[in-house]
């Protein structure tokens, strides 16, 4: 029988990996709290319509990448991203009266795509959503939060913020018409996916990875040519806010979002630190999303970041806490060790118990777990109501009374 392996596109988070992973989550949790974003969680699976309506039937995610199954007549999908679930929760829990609604989330997502460096079929994201604010100040705030979060991971100088504007609905309609007029003469040269999108959602063609499509798109009109005065003023306010905060950015006129509920600001933080340029955090404004899901018209903006990619870049991952190696020798010491370990742990001290073997074997275990000190209990120590405490860095050791052990070990730091 072949040895069991994880499913392709999934991976185990072993303890060292988990510390890097948890560092990313802990730092966004702290940063989000500074901006008033509270953590929430939605189910890992939702009715398929939650995603098909929000991501678009012609998107690659919906048409090719979702994990969908039927159960008791219901079509269920493992969530491929976090925004749709947050917005569904906003609607189904009647939170329209609680705006501005500021949420932070983290957890696993699922997409059936080709596994590659930093991208898996089960992956993890952190993200924020700000609902109920239509002014540019919301865009500036979520961008500032993203920049601060990436800074806490030590990524200053490794990431570039690219921004663009998609304008309001009128500007978007004007751009859509201009794009279709440009693309129609190239209809027969487009990929099959793009031919379908040309009829249903032409802006999605701008996201095409097909080389033939890319050559055609290179000379397509840009969004800025279709922006009205209100859209230009909104984008200018966002840029001025970033300038005031000292957040560097470049304007990328080709950065778009294909779905109709997106508007105004779109942005990505990219890096070349993982090889070819890749996106580590992306987001945008989606004022029409909640209404498209059947809710009260509510503006929104947010972003999401892949934890696996960030974990590859993260700086300053904390080392595993160095435990106290408790080494009892003899039956009497073994009997005492369990309540003593419990006492130390309740005092906030990590303890690694040596469960058997000769002293040499137990000391080897202490070195393997990188223990700070070894607390040795033998018949001689028990007769004196003491323990021998050996500093495993310096090799020095001393006798410490059992009733003063917690205090002495706490003082070691």
Q: Which residues make up each annotated binding site?
A: 81-83, 111, 125, 129, 257, 261-262
Asked whether 231 and 262 are in contact (CB, 8 A), the reply is no
**Is residue 105 helix, strand or coil?**
strand
Residue 343's Cβ-side half-sphere holds a number of Cα atoms within 13 Å equal to 14
Cα 153 to Cα 30, 117, 124, 144, 313: the distances in Å are: 12, 19, 17, 14, 8
Rounded to an integer, what distance in angstroms lies between the CA atom of residue 196 and that of residue 399?
Answer: 79
| Separation of CA 118 from chain center | 12
- CA max distance for the chain: 95
Q: How many CB atoms lie within 10 A of CB 353?
A: 17
Asked whether 296 and 101 are in contact (CB, 8 A), the reply is no
Tokens representing 372 are 């700070």
Question: Residues comprising the binding site for L-histidine?
Answer: 81-83, 111, 125, 129, 257, 261-262
Q: 100: cis peptide before it, omega within 30°?
A: yes
Rounded to an integer, what distance in angstroms lies between the CA atom of residue 282 and that of residue 372?
Answer: 42
């Amino acid at each position: 029988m072949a040895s069991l392996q994880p499913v392709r596109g999934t991976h185990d988070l072993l303890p060292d990996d988990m510390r890097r992973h948890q560092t990313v989550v802990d730092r966004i949790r702290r940063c989000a709290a500074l901006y008033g974003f509270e953590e929430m969680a939605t189910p890992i699976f939702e009715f398929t319509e939650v995603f098909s309506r929000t991501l678009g039937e012609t998107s690659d995610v919906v048409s090719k990448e979702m994990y969908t199954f039927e159960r008791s007549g219901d079509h269920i999908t493992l969530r491929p991203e976090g925004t749709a679930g947050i917005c569904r929760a906003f609607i189904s829990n009647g939170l329209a009266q609680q705006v501005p609604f500021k949420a932070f989330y983290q957890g696993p997502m699922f997409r059936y795509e080709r596994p590659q460096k930093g991208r898996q079929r089960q992956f993890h994201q952190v993200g924020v959503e700000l609902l109920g604010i239509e002014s540019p100040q919301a865009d500036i705030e979520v961008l500032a939060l993203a920049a601060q979060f990436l800074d806490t991971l030590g990524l200053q100088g490794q990431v570039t913020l690219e921004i663009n504007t998609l304008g309001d609905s009128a500007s978007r309609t004007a751009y859509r018409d201009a794009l279709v007029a440009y693309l129609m003469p190239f209809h027969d040269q487009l990929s099959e996916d793009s031919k379908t999108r040309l009829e249903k959602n032409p802006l999605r063609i701008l996201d095409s990875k097909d080389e033939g499509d890319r050559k055609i798109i290179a000379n397509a009109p840009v969004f800025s040519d279709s922006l009205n005065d209100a859209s230009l003023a909104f984008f200018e306010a966002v840029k001025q806010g970033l300038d005031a905060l000292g957040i560097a950015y470049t304007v990328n006129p080709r950065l778009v979002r294909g779905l109709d509920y997106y508007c105004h600001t779109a942005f990505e933080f990219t890096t070349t630190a993982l090889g070819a340029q890749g996106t580590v955090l992306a987001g945008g404004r989606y004022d029409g999303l909640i209404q498209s899901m059947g809710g009260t018209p509510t503006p929104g903006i947010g972003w999401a970041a892949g934890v696996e990619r960030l974990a590859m870049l993260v700086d300053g991952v904390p080392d595993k806490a160095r435990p106290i190696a408790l080494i009892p020798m003899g039956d009497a010491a073994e009997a005492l060790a369990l309540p003593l370990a419990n006492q130390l742990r309740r005092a906030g001290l990590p303890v690694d118990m040596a469960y058997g073997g000769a002293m040499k074997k137990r000391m080897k275990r202490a070195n393997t777990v990188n223990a700070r000190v070894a607390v040795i209990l033998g018949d001689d120590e028990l007769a004196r109501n003491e323990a021998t405490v050996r500093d495993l860095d310096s090799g020095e050791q001393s006798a410490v009374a059992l009733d003063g052990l917690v205090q002495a070990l706490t003082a070691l730091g």
